[in-house]
């Protein structure tokens, strides 16, 4: 479910900064746009599947397999928590998208991944920071060292 904003950022950035080209002569945006679009479609299908399951469970609960007040309260709290988590993720993604052209990619990705680690409740600060820095180092090594591509 949380992949859609990330895929959108990826595709929008590719479309706005790179040339698409044609199927016979693809430009540098051709593969990123196709990959990002497919990832977004897969993410939407996954989201639809989860939504269908959730709605079926909710309908079953209304049909007499009723829950106690305490169970309903727990479900409401879980829904609020998930909505808040989703809002935090969207806010972080929008801020990342706004800063994408203004901040170095490696620094921005380290900060973004660290924030995502905290949003998704990694304990402490060490694990999210290691996640963010580790991801940036991995991306740097893959693109700069292995592929010799500057990001």
Beta bridge partners of 26: 21
pTM of the entire predicted model: 0.58
Please write the tens of the pLDDT for every residue from 32-48: 777 777 777 777 787 78
Can you name the residues that pair with 139 across neighbouring β-strands? none
First to last CA, the chain: 27
Strand partners for 21: 26
Interatomic CA distance for residues 77 and 129, integer angstroms = 29
pLDDT band at 120 (very low <50, low <70, confident <90, very high): confident
Q: How far apart are CA 150 and CA 94, in angstroms?
A: 24
CA dihedral 114→42→35→137, nearest 10 degrees, is 20
CA 14 to chain centre: 16
DSSP 48: H
- Identify the band that residue 7 occupies on the pLDDT scale cut at 50, 70 and 90: low
In terms of average pLDDT, the best of 4-18, 20-34, 73-87, 113-127 is 113-127
pLDDT tens readout for residues 68-99: 778 778 888 888 888 888 888 889 888 988 88
| CA–CA distance, 81 with 60 (Å, rounded to integer) | 22
């Amino acid at each position: 479910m949380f992949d859609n904003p990330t895929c959108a950022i990826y595709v929008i950035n590719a479309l706005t900064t790179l040339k698409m080209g044609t199927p016979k002569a693809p430009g540098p945006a051709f593969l990123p746009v196709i990959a990002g679009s497919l990832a977004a479609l897969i993410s939407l299908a996954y989201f639809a599947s989860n939504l269908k399951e959730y709605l079926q469970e909710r309908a079953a609960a209304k049909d007499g397999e009723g829950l106690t007040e305490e169970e309903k309260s727990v479900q409401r709290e879980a829904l609020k928590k998930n909505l808040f988590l989703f809002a935090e993720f969207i806010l972080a993604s929008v801020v990342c998208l706004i800063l994408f052209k203004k901040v170095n990619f490696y620094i921005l990705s380290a900060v973004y991944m660290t924030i995502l680690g905290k949003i998704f409740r990694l304990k402490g600060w060490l694990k999210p920071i290691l996640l963010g820095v580790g991801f940036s180092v991995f991306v740097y090594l893959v693109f700069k060292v292995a592929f010799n591509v500057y990001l």
